[in-house]
Amino acid sequence: MNAYSWAQYLFYLAVLLGASWPLGHFMARVYQGRPCGLDRALKPVEGVLYRLCGVDSRREMDWKTYAVAVVGFNAAGLLAVYAIQRLQGVLPLNPAGLSGVDPLVAFNTAVSFATNTNWQAYGGESTMSHFTQMTALTVQNFVSAATGMAVMAALIRGLARRETDRLGNFWQDLTRSVLYVLLPLSVVLTLALMWQGVPQTFEGSATAKLMDPATYDNPVVDEAGKPVLDDAGKPRTEPATLTEQALALGPVASQVAIKQLGTNGGGFYNVNSAHPYENPTPLTNLLEMLAILLIPAGLCHTFGVMVGDRRQGIAVLAAMTVLFAAFAFLTIQAESGPNPLLAGTGVEHVPSLEGKEVRFGAAGSALWAAATTAASNGSVNAMHDSFTPLGGMWPMLLMQLGEVVYGGVGSGLYGMLIFAVVAVFVAGLMVGRTPEYLGKKIEPFETKMAALVILIPPFLCLMGTALAAVMGPPDALSNPGPHGFSQVLYAFSSMGNNNGSAFAGLTATSPFWTVAGAVAMFGSRYWLIVPVLALAGSLARKKRLAEGPGTLPTHGPIFVALLMAVVLVVGALTFVPALALGPIAEHLALFPVK
């Protein structure tokens, strides 16, 4: 790493941590129903929404009712997104005249956006109309993110309250997450992106004349559109010259803003944030990277305020930050050097720039890769498939740790709190004492629910990878051997942890990939949410015990180290064998035995 890389890395961490503190305290006031500064403008709107939907926001729910509301609302959103895609050809705001989306791709996309994964088995600008992008995908970017934040708020209440079965009202938590947090931040970021040149229009495309016309062989077709064959039976072509290029436009800035702030990641364009219209300048690159982790980092402070001990939130934030800083450093370091195979060839040793935009460079691309996989975001500004083997492995491992470093909005924090429950359980076993977290005893039921949350994503990831290796279409991979295995492992690590980023080099539009991917995304979202809410309900019913001489402090450096160790050990024991078959084997192949 050179001085510029170090400066970019440290500046990003400093701004992220500095901005997370006021935002976290603001969000705590939102979820506690205290004045937050936006009440005069937004409180009437909130009340109107409740009346229109017939919601009594004062009526709190137990965990079962809360879970039914979460799953039912998200199921309705999934069906709506699927229907809009299939009917796209007859719906308005379709200047390119795009037809309805293929049924399996539409199903995969509906599950993807409903689960906050935003895995894209399609090219955005060539598949989705403006209407679909706005009313289906962008709306889900808001409500899927708000769902994770609502579940997080319910779990925090379960830890903070005592001898009750009430966890809050899902509809109120959902509405306030969108109205007071996601929407204002999105408006601000949208305006900043528009200022920097990101399009925000209903126009379909603009035409630009090429300064250097391109010559190519154009296939000859008959009146029915079928290829015309020559005497040798090969498709006939004729010389042609391309003098103009159509540049896809649309409401880009507004979708980019919420895709980053909501840790969604679905890009308006096929190449995502590597596209100059989605991410045109170094400033937009910084703003979008900050937006990816800002809310997840801020929610740690929200947690501390809501449980009445700010040190608890700082401890969780410290564990997340140390892990993220280490993995980001390793990723940047791996991409800062040349390919070892070039050693001794006389080629100048420069950072690996294959698959990267030169306006961001190796450090900016590697830092983004770490940020997007640390959160369940999935947007990319470089092709991870072209990273060095270790440069691609560290972001992959960040996902495999469970998307808890910082994780998605809401989902990252409730995932890390589950690891905290496991950490105090392990500590209790070591000292022979009933484990406690924030004064609540961790008993068999809580341990079982925590185990489900931790084990389901690895199961979906590794089982999906195994099935793809045995049953998947062989022509889906662009590269055989260890790198091809890495492509498959990365894909299911992404879908099985609701991340959504792609290694690239993998064709994921076949029936196997669309169906298997949808199952992995659906299971890794809702099979986790229900146990989390069950655990929250169990904790809320417990008494709060006073601290004693044998109580493990959960706000100090010892607990922070224990929490990080549990996260790393679970990830290492689960995924190191698979990583050894992919990126580790590929890295060792760069050093052939002489």
Helices marked H in 54-127 — which ranges? 63-86, 103-114, 124-127
d(CA 138, CA 233) in angstroms, rounded, equals: 47
Residue 279: per-residue pLDDT = 93
Average pLDDT estimate for 108-117: 93
User: 153 and 27 in contact (C-beta within 8 Å)?
Assistant: no
Pairing of strands 237-248, 205-219: antiparallel
| Tens digit of each residue's pLDDT (9 = 90 or more) over 324-369 | 999 999 999 999 877 777 766 666 667 778 888 888 888 999 999 9
User: 200 and 251 in contact (C-beta within 8 Å)?
Assistant: yes
Residue whose pair of structure tokens reads 């961790």 in the numeric block? 442
Is the full-model pTM beyond 0.75? Answer: yes
| Tens digit of each residue's pLDDT (9 = 90 or more) over 442-489 | 999 999 999 999 999 999 999 999 999 898 888 888 888 899 999 999
b/e burial code for range 195-222 (CB count within 10 A of at least 16 → b): ebebbbeeebeeeeeeeeeeeeeeeeee
Average pLDDT estimate for 255-272: 88
Pairing of strands 440-441, 436-437: antiparallel
φ, ψ (nearest 5 deg) of residue 55: -105, 130
Average pLDDT estimate for 198-206: 88
Instruction: Tell whether the model's pLDDT for residue 401 goes beyond 80.
Output: yes
CA dist list (Å): 197 to 276, 297, 544: 9, 28, 53
- Contacts of residue 43, defined as CB under 8 A and 6 or more positions apart, other chains included, come to none
| Tens digit of each residue's pLDDT (9 = 90 or more) over 150-182 | 999 999 999 999 999 999 999 999 999 999 999
Strand partners, 109: none
Average pLDDT estimate for 205-213: 87
CA dist list (Å): 126 to 89, 249, 506: 13, 11, 19
Instruction: Tell whether the model's pLDDT for residue 28 goes beyond 80.
Output: yes
Instruction: Tell whether the model's pLDDT for residue 410 goes beyond 70.
Output: yes
Average pLDDT estimate for 367-387: 91
Domain ranges of the chain: 205-248, 304-588
Instruction: Tell whether the model's pLDDT for residue 372 goes beyond 90.
Output: yes
Average pLDDT estimate for 183-203: 94
User: 391 and 366 in contact (C-beta within 8 Å)?
Assistant: yes
Instruction: Tell whether the model's pLDDT for residue 115 goes beyond 80.
Output: yes
| Tens digit of each residue's pLDDT (9 = 90 or more) over 76-96 | 999 999 999 999 999 998 988
Average pLDDT estimate for 253-258: 93
| Tens digit of each residue's pLDDT (9 = 90 or more) over 218-231 | 888 877 778 888 87
Instruction: Tell whether the model's pLDDT for residue 206 goes beyond 90.
Output: no
**Which segment of 8-12, 66-70, 434-438, 581-585 scores lowest on mean pLDDT?**
434-438
Residue 259: per-residue pLDDT = 93
Place 316 in a pLDDT band, splitting at 50, 70 and 90: very high
User: 524 and 506 in contact (C-beta within 8 Å)?
Assistant: no
**Which segment of 54-68, 115-129, 358-372, 403-417 scores lowest on mean pLDDT?**
115-129
Return the top range by mean pLDDT from 66-75, 233-242, 394-403: 66-75
Place 242 in a pLDDT band, splitting at 50, 70 and 90: confident
Place 593 in a pLDDT band, splitting at 50, 70 and 90: low
Residue 392: per-residue pLDDT = 92
Instruction: Express as a percent the part of the chain with pLDDT over 70.
Output: 98
Q: Which two tokens stand for residue 142?
A: 């808001």
Residue 463: per-residue pLDDT = 95
b/e burial code for range 446-478 (CB count within 10 A of at least 16 → b): beebbebbbebbbbbbbebbeebeeebeeebbe
Residue 156: per-residue pLDDT = 97
Residue 344: per-residue pLDDT = 65
Q: Which two tokens stand for residue 508?
A: 């994921």
Residue whose pair of structure tokens reads 């709107």 in the numeric block? 45
Average pLDDT estimate for 34-39: 92
φ, ψ (nearest 5 deg) of residue 92: -75, 180
Residue 547: per-residue pLDDT = 79
Task: Bin 500: left if φ > 0, else alpha if -120 < ψ < 50, else beta.
Answer: left
